[in-house]
Amino acid sequence: MSVILTGLMASILYAASAWLQRRMLSADLPARHSDLGGHNRYILSLAGVALLIHLFNAILAISTPAGYDFGFFRVASLFSWVMALIVVLASLRKPVANLFLVLFPLAIVSILCSSFLPSFYHPHAGLAGGVALHSVLGILAFSLLTIAAIQALVVAWLNRELKQHHYSNTLRHMPPLQSMEELLFDFIRAGFIALLAVIISGFMFMDDMFAQHLAHKTVLTIVSFAVWGILLWGRQRFGWRGKVALRWILGGFVVLILAYFGSKFVLEILLNRV
């Protein structure tokens, strides 16, 4: 199977899953409550198959005859797969299925870009074990904290709707606000620990974390780690929530995305340099 074919198949399945999730959230709860379990099974089944095909697509795109292609769009597709996997698995036990409506479209965009757009990255023949571990931890940390940022926006929207007394069908399907906030900080704590592991493994396994091509990434990652740490301290010490927490979350996320993708986008896509 080709990269393009698997990309199209995964995109169609993700789109079907997101459409079913949106339809379920828009349903009239009293009239269709008995149908929700069936909808959940269909959604998770489609999402599970989409994840398998997406993974196959990412492997085909990254693993080339010349070596591993970690170009901008290839890496973005891999990141979106990890985020979708985390949320699908978490949805088996926690009320996070509403995030499908954001993450699945992001996965579709990343898959299509990876499948159809050229890569300017020069493939590497292999990775040392320590560097590979550092990369995996980085993908995990970024994925968890991206999910947290999206969850924070959902919580902010839910809080606004409740304050304005907009009780739509979608709102009635959402979990309680307190549960949503608890889930949000569960993701942040997990991402914070993973980010700490990224920093430690980087200093352990990378030759020079402050080399010219890594200095900006190292500094921004440490700054982002500090922002997330201050947020968790403020939550514990002062009970930060609402707009205060949202500002810190989005601030930490912006710094993190600049660390992971900012320079990569400029060098590869804008300047065509690797």
Say if residue 21 is in the same domain as residue 88.
Answer: yes
The whole-number pLDDT of residue 260 equals: 82
Say if residue 22 is in the same domain as residue 135.
Answer: no
For 101, the domain range is 1-125
Say if residue 66 is in the same domain as residue 155.
Answer: no
Say if residue 140 is in the same domain as residue 272.
Answer: yes
pLDDT tens digits, 35-65: 555 568 889 999 999 999 999 999 999 988 8
Looking at the 3D structure of the chain, how many domains does it have? Answer: 2
The whole-number pLDDT of residue 37 equals: 56
Tell me the pLDDT band of 31, cut-offs 50, 70 and 90. very low
pLDDT of 224 strictly over 80: yes
Task: Determine which of 49-53, 151-155, 235-239, 256-260 has the lowest per-residue pLDDT on average.
Answer: 256-260
Q: Average the pLDDT over 216-231 and give the result.
A: 93
- Report the 3 state secondary structure along 112-145: HHHHHCCCCCCCECCCCHHHHHHHHHHHHHHHHH
pLDDT tens digits, 197-221: 999 998 888 777 776 566 888 899 9
**End of a domain among 75, 96, 125?**
125
pLDDT of 18 strictly over 60: yes
Taking a C-beta distance cutoff of 8 angstroms, is the pair 192, 229 a contact? yes
Task: Please provide the average confidence, as pLDDT, over all residues in the chain.
Answer: 86
Say if residue 79 is in the same domain as residue 159.
Answer: no
Using the CB atoms, write b or e for 262-272: b if 16+ within 10 Å. bebbebbeeee
**End of a domain among 125, 146, 162?**
125
